[in-house]
Amino acid sequence: MHPNDPRLRSFVEVGSSSHFPIQNLPYGVFSTPATPARRIGVAIGDFVLDLSVLEQERLLHPAPSPSIFSQTTINDFMSLGPHTWSEVRMRISELLRHDCGELRDNEKLRARALLPRDSVTLHLPLEVKGFTDFYSSKEHATNVGTMFRDKDNPLLPNWLHIPIGYNGRASTVVVSGTPIRRPLGQIKPPTSHDPVFGPCRRMDFELEMGVVVGQPSTMGEMLSEVEADALIFGFTLLNDWSARDIQQWEYVPLGPFQAKAFATSISPWIVTREALEPFRVQGPAQDPTPLPYLRQRGLNNYDINLDVALRSAEMRTAERISRTNFKYMYWSSIQQLVHHASSGCSLSVGDLMGSGTISGPEKHQRGSLLELSWGGAEPLELGSVPRTFLEDGDSVTITGYCQGDGYRVGFGEVEGTITRALGDSTSLAGGQ
């Protein structure tokens, strides 16, 4: 059976609402108190399958290469290419099947290789070589353009012709659960003639998906649609935190800089492109027709349900504030990669591409507080406390999954909690 077959069952018990059935098998990096060395595993139900143990026992054939799963990131494994990715996933699926006894019937091996997920520490799964963030949701761009530019012409003239993006900072990509310090920066209050330096006052999240590049491209060469697709190892949840007031002052003429450089959070699990194949869908109609190099024939969007929940420091449980879907993206991940390489820019194993904020056509489908509160004019009621932007102690959790026939292929979650800015804010005002 193909690893995506909905009839597959694992000997590991997996509920129908679990994000990690046998049809998924996402990759992550973990450690345990007993063995603090980081290594690579896949999620299955409520467990992590330690691939380094299977590798030591020579159960992974064809063997990718010596100790590939004892590495601290998945980069070396990704570099082996799509054929190896597929073969290894097929073998892992076989070992986890309900009717395969190699692992199921070996009690000692199971104890070493199958670890309760709540007993492990999850780490950043890849070494991020470069980070590019795009701006590819038409609904999001329209909302932002309506608020800040021209409600009758919210999109800039180039937006419908080109996937807009900017190069961000790979050094501040962090794994889910990492606290996010409120950034400092220059801010120009509307009532002030001069800027001040201090903590961000309009802190926001951005609901995104991240594309993980698993194969390099050649400098000076372009990519076709098929070639770009083959470069993608998988996808992860991504929150590209945003300091809206810092960005408003700095972004003209060169775009976001410090307003985005301070932190980007990703989920600890990378769901493979192959696992998402059953959930590919047609994207929105593109009018005007893109230039020839950006035209696509395939189903290059994905039907991924996405939720955002927010919890203040005073709340016991989080409250959902947004529900949308990745399928709404105007520019697909494939088009983003094709355009990225179109100038001759080379892509590297471990590059991360942010989709851009994902918003849908309805108000509850907006992917940022900037949109949900309409620039602060329409506060959200979070419990008994209104919210326009994030306060210290607020925690944002993004989850996502594809719904199959009796199973889900999910991404887990990406969570981050806002902590107080460095230093005393009163002493930082006015550049003191």
Catalytic residues: 140
- What is the C-alpha to C-alpha distance for residues 404 and 16, in angstroms, rounded to an integer? 10
- Torsion-angle region of residue 142: left (phi > 0), alpha (psi -120 to 50) or beta? alpha
CA angle at residue 141 from 137 to 144, to 5 degrees? Answer: 140
Name residue 237's beta-bridge partners: 209
**DSSP string computed for 87-144:** HHHHHHHHHHBTT-HHHHT-HHHHHHHEEEGGGSEEE--S----EEEE---HHHHHHH
Return the closest-CA partner of residue 241 out of 186, 193, 196, 176: 176
User: What are the two backbone dihedrals, phi and then psi, of residue 260, each rounded to the nearest 5 degrees?
Assistant: -120, -15
- What is the C-alpha to C-alpha distance for residues 85 and 271, in angstroms, rounded to an integer? 12
Q: Is 113 exposed, middle or buried (CB count within 10 Å of its CB: 0-12, 13-18, 19+)?
A: buried
Name residue 302's beta-bridge partners: 280
C-beta of residue 381 within 8 angstroms of C-beta of residue 218: no
C-beta of residue 398 within 8 angstroms of C-beta of residue 413: yes
Query: Other C-beta atoms within 10 Å of 97: how many?
Result: 19
C-beta of residue 8 within 8 angstroms of C-beta of residue 93: yes
Residue type, 158: N
In the DSSP assignment, the letter for residue 352 is E
Residue type, 91: R
C-beta of residue 278 within 8 angstroms of C-beta of residue 188: no
C-beta of residue 399 within 8 angstroms of C-beta of residue 176: no
Question: What's the maximum distance between 2 C-alpha atoms anywhere in the chain?
Answer: 73
Spacing of C-alpha 288 from chain mean position: 29
Q: Which residue has the tokens 């189903």?
A: 299
CA atoms within 13 A of residue 134's CA, in its CB half-sphere: 28
Query: Other C-beta atoms within 10 Å of 400: how many?
Result: 29
- What is the C-alpha to C-alpha distance for residues 155 and 14, in angstroms, rounded to an integer? 45
